[in-house]
A and B are shown apart, each in its own frame.
Chain A
Amino acid sequence: MSATLDVRDLCVLFEGPPQPSPIDGSVRYFVVDAGTQSIPEVAPGHRIGLPGVTFTVNAGACLAVLGTSGAGKSSLLRTLAGLQPQGRGSISVNGRDVSALRPEQRSVVYLHQEPVLFPHLSVLENVAFPLTVRGTSRREAERRGFEMLVRLGVGPVAGNAATALSGGQRHRVALARALCADPAVLLLDEPLASLDPAVRRDVRAALLEARAMSGAATILVTHDLDDAMAVATHISAIGPFGDLSVPASPADLLREPPTLAVAQLLGVFAEVPGVVERTDDGASRFRWAGGAIKAAGVAPGSAIACVRSHDVDVSAAGSAEAPVLTVTGRRDAVHEVMLDVSDPSGRLVTMRVPGTTAARVGDRVQITLRHARIYSTH
């Protein structure tokens, strides 16, 4: 089924008591009662998590929603599926407002992080389940279910017990079952989290196959940019105030993250501190320890430049017209190098540079930024 998912000003609620973030201990809620400084309950056991979410996912497209742990990614999906109450706002599937409908009436299928197969049914019975509950005859449901299993490469396990599958097979069977429901919207809740690399590759491939087969509008929530890039057509990020960035293509998002918070969430940028100055000709430039770069449209004052490793050139001192920096630390990652450099005054900056960079600790280098996204921080 192909349909468009349209979400307007949706207030997503968090279930249960306020939970401190496992990272910094902060409590992540965005509506606090000014008088009591408490987080009010807007429904029994529910508090406002994401105050106003708006986006559209077209049929066949896949939106990846990035966010840190506890940001509200799963709550967003559970709200869209009707598995938890929502605040204000609307959820429309193909123009029909489904906000008040029960989960089974929405044509929205939600896949949990761990595939949940019915343990008392065989694989084939699991896959036929969404058809039989809608009144399709058992024989026809199993025929179509088997076809779906074959298309997703798990035909040979059709007769197995649902409990006798490998991790990758469980994901593929759960996807086949979801596609048998012919959903208008498919919600994937971190399907690739906590998988080992081999299973992860297998499940990624299965997700792409499922996307190709289904005309559903798909939402994938994840905290992993690689997963989002591999599967999604668009990416959006939950910001520090529970705001969702405008969906952008992966390439656009990486080139121009809309906010510093989104850039930080993407986790692929070096954050270079500096100052934006006005030049004599009225233009703006960003000055940092290693030189300067144009900063069109950024207000003068302190700022941070977000730079990816492939936009950085590192050369030996004296080969370019730029301040000389000393390498004080080097940590090699898979595709890039984290280089700690300091200027003569001792200011320290950690740069992400290409993996081919030869600079060692103690070397004197000059660094040129070819492209940077600059954010005012004052």
Chain B
Amino acid sequence: MMPRASLIRSLSFVALLLFATAPLLLLIVTSLARGWFYPAAVPETIDTGAWRELFTDPARRDALVNSLTLAVCTAITATMLALPLGRSAAFSTRGVRRAVALLAFAAVALPPVALGIGLQLTVLTLGLGGTLFGVFLAHLIPTLGYLTLVFLGVFTRWDRRLEESAATLGASEGARWRRVLLPLLRRPIADALALGFLVSWAQVALTLLVGGGAVRTLPLDVLAMLQAGQDQRAAVGALALAIPALLVLAATRSAARNTAAVSA
């Protein structure tokens, strides 16, 4: 007979597995089901048309391309800004470090609607309301907050003696970045790019407020279809949204693992 503790553990695991996978499975089935209505237990017709439409329908394709463009640009730009920012803050005085951490945390913690309204006013003033660039700037704010916190953590535990050794061995600042810093930061940079991509990829409120409906992205498309009762199309859009997240999770499942240059 199975011991009680072991039984509870097994049941918990099964429950967790169902909790995590059931919505996804349901989405997959819905994305392939045309006209699946209550009380039918299974779809009557299997149809891949909604999937084809994702790539062939110009409006949906534009939304997908906009989402990808925004996520890639935001991830790269935020990583390029957050790395030096987190580094210089980590090596600064405690006061500066705390101030940067507080600002970065505020960008993350502020409700997107509140942040979006503030950004909307700014972006409109700049004449960028309803443009892809304006939305990109808006996405950059929370993403930069997340990534600054990531790099602040990385560099707080960074072994600065590596750079000092490289410097006294004759490496210029550029050589130190190329030969020591960047190779050792490969994993944190990959993690930051992935995180930055996901933060932008899933944005709804900022896109809606700053884009003003003129900039269509995949999450907005999914919401619109849900409101219109187009469940199959919405499921396809939702799965398209989930796929990059799952890929990124798989690629960075050891994201928390430290690089050799950072002590545990």
Partners in one complex: yes
B98 on interface, CB distance cutoff 8 Å: no
A130 touches B170 (CB 8 A): yes
Which residues from chain A contact B164 at a C-beta distance below 8 Å? 81, 83, 103, 110, 112, 116
A110 touches B165 (CB 8 A): yes
Chain A nearest CB, measured from B93 CB (Å): 7
Which residues from chain A contact B159 at a C-beta distance below 8 Å? 116
A177 touches B169 (CB 8 A): yes
A139 on interface, CB distance cutoff 8 Å: no
A104 touches B167 (CB 8 A): yes
A129 touches B166 (CB 8 A): yes
B168 on interface, CB distance cutoff 8 Å: yes
A118 touches B180 (CB 8 A): yes
A118 touches B162 (CB 8 A): yes
A109 touches B169 (CB 8 A): yes
Give the complex CA separation of A55 and B72 in angstroms: 57
Residue of B nearest to A177 (CB): B169
B162 touches A81 (CB 8 A): no
- Considering only residues 129-153 of chain A, those with a C-beta below 8 Å from chain B are 129-130, 132-134
Chain A nearest CB, measured from B182 CB (Å): 10
Contact with B along A100-113 (1 / 0, CB 8 A): 00111010111010
A104 touches B184 (CB 8 A): no
Contact of A104 among B162, B170, B261 (CB under 8 A): B170
B260 on interface, CB distance cutoff 8 Å: yes
B261 touches A119 (CB 8 A): yes
A108 touches B162 (CB 8 A): no
A116 touches B167 (CB 8 A): no
B161 touches A119 (CB 8 A): no
Which residues from chain B contact A81 at a C-beta distance below 8 Å? 164, 168
Give the complex CA separation of A182 and B207 in angstroms: 58
Count contacts on B: residues with CB < 8 A to the other chain: 20
Give the complex CA separation of A114 and B161 in angstroms: 10
Which residues from chain A contact B93 at a C-beta distance below 8 Å? 45
B169 touches A83 (CB 8 A): no
B179 on interface, CB distance cutoff 8 Å: yes
Which residues from chain B contact A102 at a C-beta distance below 8 Å? 167
Which residues from chain B contact A120 at a C-beta distance below 8 Å? 183-184, 260-261
A19 on interface, CB distance cutoff 8 Å: no
A93 on interface, CB distance cutoff 8 Å: no
Q: Which of A120, A130, A134, A181 has the most CB of B within 10 A?
A: A120
A163 on interface, CB distance cutoff 8 Å: yes
Which residues from chain B contact A83 at a C-beta distance below 8 Å? 164, 167-168
Chain A nearest CB, measured from B95 CB (Å): 11
Give the complex CA separation of A110 and B161 in angstroms: 10
Known contacts being A45-B93, A130-B170, A133-B179, is A116 close to B260, with CB within 8 Å? no
Give the complex CA separation of A109 and B261 in angstroms: 21
Give the complex CA separation of A341 and B230 in angstroms: 101
Known contacts being A83-B167, A104-B171, A119-B261, is A129 close to B162, with CB within 8 Å? no
A-B pairs with CB below 8 Å: how many? 69
Give the complex CA separation of A307 and B260 in angstroms: 50
Which residues from chain A contact B10 at a C-beta distance below 8 Å? none
Chain A nearest CB, measured from B183 CB (Å): 5
Give the complex CA separation of A82 and B172 in angstroms: 13
Q: Which of A45, A82, A104 has the most CB of B within 10 A?
A: A104
Which residues from chain A contact B260 at a C-beta distance below 8 Å? 119-120, 163
Which residues from chain A contact B172 at a C-beta distance below 8 Å? 104, 133
B46 on interface, CB distance cutoff 8 Å: no
Give the complex CA separation of A133 and B175 in angstroms: 7
- Considering only residues 195-216 of chain B, those with a C-beta below 8 Å from chain A are none
Chain B nearest CB, measured from A102 CB (Å): 7
A110 touches B170 (CB 8 A): no
Q: Which of B167, B175, B180, B184 has the most CB of A within 10 A?
A: B167
Contact of A110 among B168, B175, B179, B184 (CB under 8 A): B168
Give the complex CA separation of A82 and B159 in angstroms: 18
Give the complex CA separation of A134 and B164 in angstroms: 16
Contact of B170 among A45, A112, A119, A181 (CB under 8 A): A181
Residue of A nearest to B168 (CB): A110
A289 on interface, CB distance cutoff 8 Å: no
Give the complex CA separation of A133 and B183 in angstroms: 15
Contact with B along A74-90 (1 / 0, CB 8 A): 00000001110000000
Give the complex CA separation of A102 and B184 in angstroms: 23
Give the complex CA separation of A134 and B170 in angstroms: 7
Give the complex CA separation of A132 and B179 in angstroms: 10
Which residues from chain A contact B261 at a C-beta distance below 8 Å? 119-120
A63 on interface, CB distance cutoff 8 Å: no
Contact with B along A263-288 (1 / 0, CB 8 A): 00000000000000000000000000
- Considering only residues 190-210 of chain A, those with a C-beta below 8 Å from chain B are none
A103 touches B167 (CB 8 A): yes
Q: Which of B159, B164, B184, B261 has the most CB of A within 10 A?
A: B164
Which residues from chain A contact B165 at a C-beta distance below 8 Å? 110, 112, 116, 118
- Considering only residues 163-198 of chain A, those with a C-beta below 8 Å from chain B are 163, 177-178, 181, 187
Q: Which residues of A contact B (CB under 8 A)?
A: 45, 81-83, 102-104, 106, 108-110, 112, 114, 116, 118-120, 129-130, 132-134, 163, 177-178, 181, 187
Question: Nearest 4 pairs between A and B by C-beta?
Answer: A119-B260, A103-B167, A130-B169, A133-B171
20 of the cross-chain contacts (CB-CB < 8 Å) are A82-B167, A103-B164, A103-B167, A104-B169, A104-B171, A104-B172, A106-B168, A108-B168, A109-B169, A110-B168, A116-B159, A116-B164, A118-B165, A120-B183, A129-B171, A129-B179, A133-B170, A133-B172, A133-B179, A134-B170
Q: Which residues of B contact A (CB under 8 A)?
A: 93, 159, 161-162, 164-172, 175, 179-180, 183-184, 260-261
What 16 additional pairs, Cβ within 8 angstroms, besides A109-B168, A114-B161? Answer: A45-B93, A81-B164, A81-B168, A82-B167, A83-B164, A104-B167, A104-B171, A104-B172, A118-B165, A118-B180, A129-B166, A130-B171, A133-B170, A133-B175, A163-B260, A181-B169
